[in-house]
């Protein structure tokens, strides 16, 4: 298995001695997707049942961290988390939403899916609809597709001239930088699948009537442009992985490993944020006495 030279080789340990999965996945230069094996098991369990068990074991911690973030925001905190998930059709964006949904506090979580912009959305700046879908203070929001489609599907299908999409990388970096300054912690995950795996998953969808709703005949047309999409992804990942908003490439041919990696990236990010419950603005002893006497 070839290792990508652009992914960091050294990895740091946190205070509890845990290796950072984020460091292993993070893009820090020019990336070649062909050098990242979509079947690679990057870290952690090499077995499905164990991976699922470890994800389950994170539920209490992630939920608690999220609840602290939410509680902070009720007392003036402005921090939030935005998880951007991109990937080719069938790469598992819906599966990622299910994993994250299980881990976080439902109170402050939502998923927003982005399809082709409506006529009205097209009349606005392309970032406008994304600005409207940002997480509220204390919230965790997942985007199933994102503003990156503006340099992916738009570029591959020539929906706007090259100089127009070409100017968007810098604009996206500027916008994401401003978001970071506003307290939005971005986690950008690219679910990296192989063309063979996509073929199999499309066939699986067709073989199962309960999956037909996920199948779109247009997916086969987009599949025919695989190389163009990979090149577009490489530019987006290489040009827009910044300290303010890093990109992580998630090997995604194995669903259980994809889920485990997403869970790790999320919990590591929340641990870093280290949200704390705000102190009470009343005297608990006095209030306890009042309730008892009531
Ligand atoms: P799905 O994720 O399967 O529901 O499909 C959503 C479709 O919307 C995909 O084919 C995307 O390429 C397309 N899409 C998302 N964002 C944009 C955009 N900004 N411009 C054009 N097409 C888009
Ligand atoms: Mg689809």
**Does any ligand 1 atom lie closer than 6 A to the CB of residue 149?**
yes
What is the 3-class SS of 120-145, one letter each residue?
A: HHHHCCCCHHHHCCCCCCCCEEEEEC
Token duo for residue 38: 């979509």
**Does any ligand 1 atom lie closer than 6 A to the CB of residue 214?**
no
Would you call 226 exposed, middle or buried from its count of C-beta atoms within 10 A (0-12, 13-18, 19+)? middle
Measured CA to CA, the distance from residue 25 to residue 101 in angstroms comes to 22
Task: Quote the pLDDT of residue 17.
Answer: 66
**Does any ligand 1 atom lie closer than 6 A to the CB of residue 115?**
yes
Q: State the pLDDT confidence band at 6, using cuts at 50, 70 and 90.
A: low
**Does any ligand 1 atom lie closer than 6 A to the CB of residue 94?**
no
Of all protein residues, whose CA lies closest to atom 21 belonging to ligand 1?
Answer: 116
Question: Which residues on adjacent β-strands are paired with residue 142?
Answer: 83, 111
* Closest ligand by atom to 211 CA: 2
Task: Quote the pLDDT of residue 13.
Answer: 65
Distance (angstroms) between ligand 2 centre and the Cα of 89 equals 5
Contacts for 205-212: CB closer than 8 Å, 24+ residues apart: 205/90
pLDDT digits (tens, 9 = 90+) for 237-292: 999 999 999 999 999 999 999 999 999 999 999 999 999 999 999 999 999 999 99
Q: State the pLDDT confidence band at 4, using cuts at 50, 70 and 90.
A: very low
pLDDT digits (tens, 9 = 90+) for 25-60: 999 999 999 999 999 999 999 999 999 999 999 999
Ligand 1: which of 115, 118, 198 to mutate, most ligand atoms within 8 Å of CB? 115
Distance (angstroms) between ligand 2 centre and the Cα of 267 equals 28
Q: State the pLDDT confidence band at 9, using cuts at 50, 70 and 90.
A: very low
* Closest ligand by atom to 115 CA: 1
Of all protein residues, whose CA lies closest to atom 1 belonging to ligand 1?
Answer: 115
> Are 78 and 182 in contact, with CB atoms under 8 Å apart?
yes
Span 206-216, average pLDDT: 96
Q: State the pLDDT confidence band at 2, using cuts at 50, 70 and 90.
A: very low
Distance (angstroms) between ligand 1 centre and the Cα of 63 equals 31
Distance (angstroms) between ligand 1 centre and the Cα of 145 equals 7
**Does any ligand 1 atom lie closer than 6 A to the CB of residue 151?**
no
- Nearest atom of ligand 1 to the alpha carbon of 115: 8
- Nearest atom of ligand 1 to the alpha carbon of 216: 3
* Closest ligand by atom to 85 CA: 1
Q: What is the pTM of this model?
A: 0.94
State the residue for tokens 């939403």. Answer: 97
Distance (angstroms) between ligand 2 centre and the Cα of 88 equals 9
Q: Helices (DSSP H) in the chain: which residue ranges? A: 21-25, 48-74, 93-103, 119-123, 128-131, 153-156, 162-166, 168-181, 195-207, 218-223, 226-239, 255-273, 284-292
Residue environment code for 16-32, b if the CB has 16+ CB neighbours within 10 A, otherwise e = eeeebbbbbbbbeeebe
Span 187-192, average pLDDT: 98
Q: How far is CA 273 from the centre of its chain?
A: 16
* Closest ligand by atom to 221 CA: 1
- Nearest atom of ligand 1 to the alpha carbon of 126: 19
Task: Quote the pLDDT of residue 48.
Answer: 97
Q: What is the DSSP string of 15-54?
A: TTS-B-HHHHHBB-S---GGGS-TT---SS-SSHHHHHHH
Q: State the pLDDT confidence band at 19, using cuts at 50, 70 and 90.
A: confident
**Does any ligand 1 atom lie closer than 6 A to the CB of residue 127?**
no
């Amino acid at each position: 298995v070839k290792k990508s030279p652009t992914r960091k080789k050294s990895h740091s340990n946190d205070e509890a001695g845990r290796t950072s999965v984020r460091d292993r996945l993070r893009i820090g230069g020019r990336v070649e997707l062909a050098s990242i094996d979509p079947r690679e098991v990057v870290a952690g369990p090499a077995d499905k049942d164990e991976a699922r068990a470890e994800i389950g074991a994170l539920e209490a911690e992630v939920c608690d961290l999220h609840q602290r973030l939410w509680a902070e925001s009720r007392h003036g905190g402005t921090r939030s988390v935005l998880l951007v998930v991109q990937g080719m059709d069938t790469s598992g964006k819906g599966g990622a939403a299910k994993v994250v949904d299980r881990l976080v506090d439902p109170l402050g979580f939502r998923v927003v899916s982005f399809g082709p912009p409506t006529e009205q959305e097209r009349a606005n700046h392309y970032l406008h609809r994304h600005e409207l879908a940002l997480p509220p203070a204390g919230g965790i929001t997942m985007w199933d597709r994102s503003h990156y489609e503006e340099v992916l599907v738009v570029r591959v299908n020539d929906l706007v001239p090259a100089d127009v999409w070409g100017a968007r990388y810098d604009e996206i970096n500027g916008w994401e930088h401003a978001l970071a300054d506003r307290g939005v912690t971005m986690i950008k995950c690219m679910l990296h699948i192989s063309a063979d795996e996509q073929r199999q998953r499309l066939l699986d969808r067709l073989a199962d009537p309960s999956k037909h709703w996920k199948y779109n005949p247009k997916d086969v047309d987009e599949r025919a442009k695989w190389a163009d999409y990979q090149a577009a992804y490489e530019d987006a990942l290489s040009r827009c992985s910044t300290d303010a908003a890093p990109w992580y490439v998630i090997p995604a041919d194995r669903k259980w490993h994809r889920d485990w990696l997403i869970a790790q990236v999320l919990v590591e990010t929340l641990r870093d944020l280290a949200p704390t419950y705000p102190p009470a603005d009343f005297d608990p002893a006095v209030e306890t006495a009042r309730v008892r006497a009531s």
